[in-house]
Structure 1
Amino acid sequence: MFRINTQIAPKRLIEPSGSPQFGHFDGIVHNLGLAHFHYCNTMDKPASAWAKHFDFKQFQFISLVTPRYVIGVALADIAYLGSAFCYAYEIQNQRLIEQQWLRPLRLGYRMTPSPYQGLGQIGRAGNRLQFTIVEGEWQLVIDTPRIQAEISLQPPALSLPMALCTPTGYNGWTYTQKHNGLAVKGRLMVDHEPQPLNLALAGYDFSAGFMRRDTSWRWASISAQIAQGIMGLNLAAGVNETGANENVFWINGERHLLGPVQFEFVRRSGDSDRDSGAEVWRIYSLNGQVNLQFVARRCRSEKRNFILLKSNFRQYIGLFSGTIIDNGGHRYELTEVLGLTEDHYARW
């Protein structure tokens, strides 16, 4: 099976030399240490303060699966713009409730550059999102006319997140931290109706760094109960591609770092929120550990073309079937397990 060497997570990502520490970490980096990063341009000259400010990007995402709803919440800061969305997808009738925010130049929103401690928020009372990270534990507040929540995400005892830093482009880097299959505590209301959380599962994504000007990725995510227990899955291609990847499988909290995967699907220009195009994806690894098919049930799409800034975003909700083999050789069968995929291009 695939084996990956890991290292103890540093307190600060940027070393005294001004360079980031690369690789997989066993734990959470407390501080990125952005002020210490020696950022250079493509001619190896120190980058301007302007470039260092505007080239740093970050985003956070939480997904929540309950017996009735899939909830997705995102907050992104690309320096020029802050954007966010929140949706509730009703599983049985495929109804989608959503809200979006867009703010210029860090006006009306904030984010934290620490995956261990900090606050991110956008909007005002009655129409806001808030991500709070307290010693690595994630909390979420949703306060919108149709969706309200105050929840915390709780990993199993001793369960490790996937935490990774890789070189990006000529002189950048990306830190990514994700954890799926987490228990949920708190309260959730959709259209003023309380939703039980005793069977709910969640996952989070913290990603930040000096990414490529033109960035794209394909992504898959699951937090679900299967025959062998609670599983989490994160698969991606794009962004973290230089010598390491962010592919990981959790089973009852035990982390299994996986090898690279391929995403095969037909990209359709006509996708809309109500038309997934009956999208079918194949997601697999060359060593056979991952062999999945994903059938989309709903697509949430968003296209923004500001000439210098662009975003072509599609997130799909659908069903996974196939097999996963962990690093101990144990095989797990998935039959129509609910989860997410994403196809995204950004110029930022």
Structure 2
Amino acid sequence: MNAAHTILPPAPACIVGPDGMPALGRHAGTLRGCDWHRLAPPYARGALWRRLHHKRWHYAALASDQMFCAVAIVDVGWMTTCFAYAFDRADGDMMANFSQDGLPGRFSATLAEDGAGTSTFGRAGVYIDLGPQGLSLRSPWLEVDASFAAPTAPALVASGVVAGGGVHATQKTGGLALTGEVRTWRNEYSLDGGTASIDYSNGLLPRETAWRWASGHDLDVGFNVQAGYFGANENALWLDGAVHPLAPARFVYDAKDPLEPWRIFTEDDCLDLVFTPVAARREQRNLRIAASRYVQPLGTFTGWVRSAPDAPRRIVTQLAGVTEQHFARW
């Protein structure tokens, strides 16, 4: 088997080692110990620089036959924000779509220190609690109670150095068996039998950061690929209980009309998918000192994947997931 597709080594006990050196690369397990203040040269940065460049987010996608729901909490250092949406897959209606800003720390939001922790947000009638075992959300527009089963495949833990920034780390899960309920103004939707996936990211990022991203999961197959600030570090395929690294990804799509089909493939010939969007969450913000342009289409992926260039192809049909085009000046 190609060495790039061997099984990943286990995640370190702490992403920043006792000597202050980060455990760079891709691992399988749980991301722990994102103690960036402990970094030693040449990775060390001053306290003010770290404060201005430290970014964290915690994101969950919930997919069932009836519903697709996504929830995120983001801490950019000087402010926090959250967003959530719920899409009825049967009739194509966006049943809820909102965001709420807050202040970091106990005033509004507390982000988990690493992939083993829980993140919370609470402000203006919105409360979110997101952790490894589940998600609870209350708002005037949407309520979610979701429980995640223990993973049957290890998560991807990736750490790398970002140009213009510092060390960045992320934990991505494969598909997690899902139970619970989503409640909107119109209906109650069971999540039982669905699939959840979790993205936790924590790092020192440049003032301007951009990426394209795609993710889709069920219990047997799933993937996460990105092109942009983090290169191929977080590109991975989950197949039959194992996680496999993937090569750099290419995104072929119309940036001016992201609701047209996307083609996504990896340079190692292990993933080739067409994404068909059915809706999108969009947001453009300009706060003078910061700005973002964001669109996250949701839909389905069809094509094939495989664990290595010489392995048989696994056909993928109508796999629920998202793509994303994002620019942030933060």
Q: TM-score, normalised by structure 1?
A: 0.86
Q: 1:287 to 1:23 in 2, by over 3 A?
A: closer
Deviations 1:303-325 (A, max 9, x none): 11123311111100122221112
**Residue number among 267, 272, 280 corresponding to 2:255 in the alignment:** 267
Matched residue, 2:109? 109
Matched residue, 2:65? 67
Following superposition, the deviation at residue 127 of structure 1 comes to 2.1
Q: Helix, strand or coil: the match of 1:7? A: coil
Matched residue, 2:154? 160
Cα distance in 1 for partners of 2:151, 2:56 equals 26
- Which sections of structure 1, spanning at least 5 residues, go unmatched? none
- 1:65-144 paired onto structure 2 within 5 Å: 65-96=63-94, 97-104=96-103, 106=105, 107-117=107-117, 119-124=118-123, 126-132=125-131, 137-144=132-139
Deviations 1:92-147 (A, max 9, x none): 22211112111245542111212113x32112485211113xxxx34211112232
Matched residue, 1:286? 267
Ranked by relative contact order (alpha carbons within 8 Å, sequence separation 6 or more), the top structure is 2
Tell me the percent identity: 26
Following superposition, the deviation at residue 245 of structure 1 comes to 2.0
**Residue number among 166, 179, 192 corresponding to 2:173 in the alignment:** 179
Matched residue, 2:306? 325
Which amino acid is the alignment partner of residue 320 of structure 2?
A: L
Following superposition, the deviation at residue 72 of structure 1 comes to 0.4
Q: Helix, strand or coil: the match of 1:6? A: coil
Deviations 1:73-107 (A, max 9, x none): 01100012211101101112221111211124554
Q: 1:123 to 1:39 in 2, by over 3 A?
A: farther
Cα distance in 1 for partners of 2:77, 2:62 equals 27
Q: Is the 8 A contact 1:125 1:143 kept in 2?
A: no
**Residue number among 319, 326, 330 corresponding to 1:344 in the alignment:** 326
Following superposition, the deviation at residue 11 of structure 1 comes to 2.0
The root-mean-square deviation of aligned C-alpha atoms, in Å, is 2.3
Deviations 1:24-49 (A, max 9, x none): 12211322123312477xxx9x7442
Matched residue, 2:13? 11
Q: Is the 8 A contact 2:74 2:82 kept in 1?
A: yes
Q: 1:149 to 1:299 in 2, by over 3 A?
A: closer
Which amino acid is the alignment partner of residue 83 of structure 2?
A: F
Cα distance in 1 for partners of 2:162, 2:208 equals 11
Cα distance in 2 for partners of 1:76, 1:252 equals 31
Q: 1:280 to 1:186 in 2, by over 3 A?
A: closer
Cα distance in 2 for partners of 1:191, 1:147 equals 7
Q: 1:281 to 1:48 in 2, by over 3 A?
A: same
Following superposition, the deviation at residue 20 of structure 1 comes to 1.4
Cα distance in 1 for partners of 2:100, 2:124 equals 14
Cα distance in 2 for partners of 1:10, 1:164 equals 11
Q: Is the 8 A contact 2:146 2:191 kept in 1?
A: no
Matched residue, 2:146? 151
Q: Is the 8 A contact 1:101 1:123 kept in 2?
A: no
Q: Helix, strand or coil: the match of 2:175? A: strand
- 1:132-281 paired onto structure 2 within 5 Å: 132=131, 137-157=132-152, 159-170=153-164, 172-191=166-185, 193-224=187-218, 230-241=220-231, 244-268=232-256, 278-281=259-262
Cα distance in 2 for partners of 1:289, 1:155 equals 27
Q: 1:224 to 1:12 in 2, by over 3 A?
A: closer
Q: Is the 8 A contact 1:5 1:24 kept in 2?
A: no
- 1:295-314 paired onto structure 2 within 5 Å: 295-314=276-295
Which amino acid is the alignment partner of residue 102 of structure 1?
A: D
Following superposition, the deviation at residue 17 of structure 1 comes to 2.8
Cα distance in 1 for partners of 2:104, 2:128 equals 18
- Which sections of structure 2, spanning at least 5 residues, go unmatched? none
Is 1:31 equivalent to 2:25 in the alignment? Answer: no
Identify the range of structure 1 (96-105 vs 302-311) with the bigger mean alpha-carbon deviation. 96-105
Identify the range of structure 1 (72-81 vs 93-102) with the bigger mean alpha-carbon deviation. 93-102
Q: 1:290 to 1:185 in 2, by over 3 A?
A: same
Q: Helix, strand or coil: the match of 2:97? A: strand
Q: TM-score, normalised by structure 2?
A: 0.90
